[in-house]
Structure formats: C-alpha cells, structure tokens
C-alpha cells in the first residue's frame, strides 16, 4: 500500500476503534477518538520509515519490530495504541498489496503476501484500503467484545514494570 493508504487506514481505524472502545455520540467518544488517533496513525506510518534507510518492506516490516511495539506500553506505560497501527500496516501490506512483507527479517528476506492485493499505484488502492480496514475493525470489535477489553489503560502494568526497576 502507499502512504496515502496507510494514513487513510490509520484515520479510519482510530475513528472506528474510538466507537468500539467508547460507544456513543458524546464527548467521551470524541475524547477517545482523539486519544487514539495520533498513536494509531503514527504506528500505521512507522514501518515505512525504512524507505529512508535499510530495505523497504524488510527492515521495519517484521515480527520482531511488532513485538517491540507490543512490549513498549507494558514496559514504559505509554504508546498504548501504536502497536495497532503497526499491526494493521502489516496486514494492509500483506493483504492489500501484491508484494507482501518479510515477516521474519533479519532471519529471512522471504516476503509473505496474499494474491488478493493491488499495486500501490492502482486506482483501486483506496477502495482496497477501506475494505481491509472494515475487516480489521470487525476483528477488533470481536476481540473487544469476546476476548479482551481494548481500552488499553496500562497504567497498572507500567507501575508493575517500575516495581521491577524497568
């Protein structure tokens, strides 16, 4: 996917996640959307920083990088929603584009993708982005409803990490 697609994905995800975490048409929902938007969009854009150094879709498009972003809020108590942007960036590149990503870099440079994608310059790229984002939001809704609450206030986790000297 192109940068425009990742920004669109991040913005739509933040809006949708805001309503999933805090359903309603009130100030609490608007506040939640505002709190989620910047971290999700930054996370959605972060993997493409590797276009400036390293090798694109390899250096920052891997499971070890995602693991760092998953651990970061537990250890440091902030950036709770950045991992969502990074994860959905990966999904968009794997499902939405033809090329795929090197999930196991630096151990392997093999790129994984599905044959369902379009080229980044395709006139259908935005449509594919919206469809994939809708599917991602349905997945996040199901996870939030049936598995774990996505209201990721990890202040207790960061206090626990501080107790370990982290």
Q: Are 130 and 8 in contact, with CB atoms under 8 Å apart?
A: yes
- Tens-place pLDDT, residues 113-166: 888 888 888 899 999 999 999 999 999 999 999 998 877 553 444 454 455 554
Which residues neighbour 145 within 8 Å (Cβ) at sequence distance 6 or greater?
A: none
- Tens-place pLDDT, residues 41-69: 999 999 999 888 888 888 899 999 999 99
- Tens-place pLDDT, residues 64-87: 999 999 988 888 777 788 999 999
Q: What is the mean pLDDT of residues 4-20?
A: 94
Average pLDDT, the chain: 86
Structure tokens at 113: 């993708």
Residue with tokens 């309603």, as numbered in its chain: 24
């Amino acid at each position: 996917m192109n940068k425009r697609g990742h920004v669109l994905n991040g913005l739509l995800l933040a809006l949708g996640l805001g309503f999933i975490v805090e359903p309603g048409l009130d100030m609490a929902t608007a506040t939640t959307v505002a709190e989620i938007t910047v971290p999700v969009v930054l996370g959605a854009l972060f993997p493409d920083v590797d276009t400036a150094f390293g090798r694109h879709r390899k250096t920052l498009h891997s499971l070890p990088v995602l693991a760092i972003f998953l651990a970061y809020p537990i250890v440091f108590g902030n950036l709770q929603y950045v991992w969502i942007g990074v994860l959905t960036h990966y999904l968009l590149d794997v499902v939405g584009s033809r090329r795929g990503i090197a999930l196991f870099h630096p151990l392997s440079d093999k790129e994984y993708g599905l044959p369902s994608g379009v080229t980044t310059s395709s006139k259908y790229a935005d449509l594919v982005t919206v469809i994939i984002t809708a599917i991602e939001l349905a997945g996040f809704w199901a996870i939030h409803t049936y598995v774990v609450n996505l209201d990721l206030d990890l202040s207790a986790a960061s206090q626990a990490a501080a107790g370990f000297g982290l």
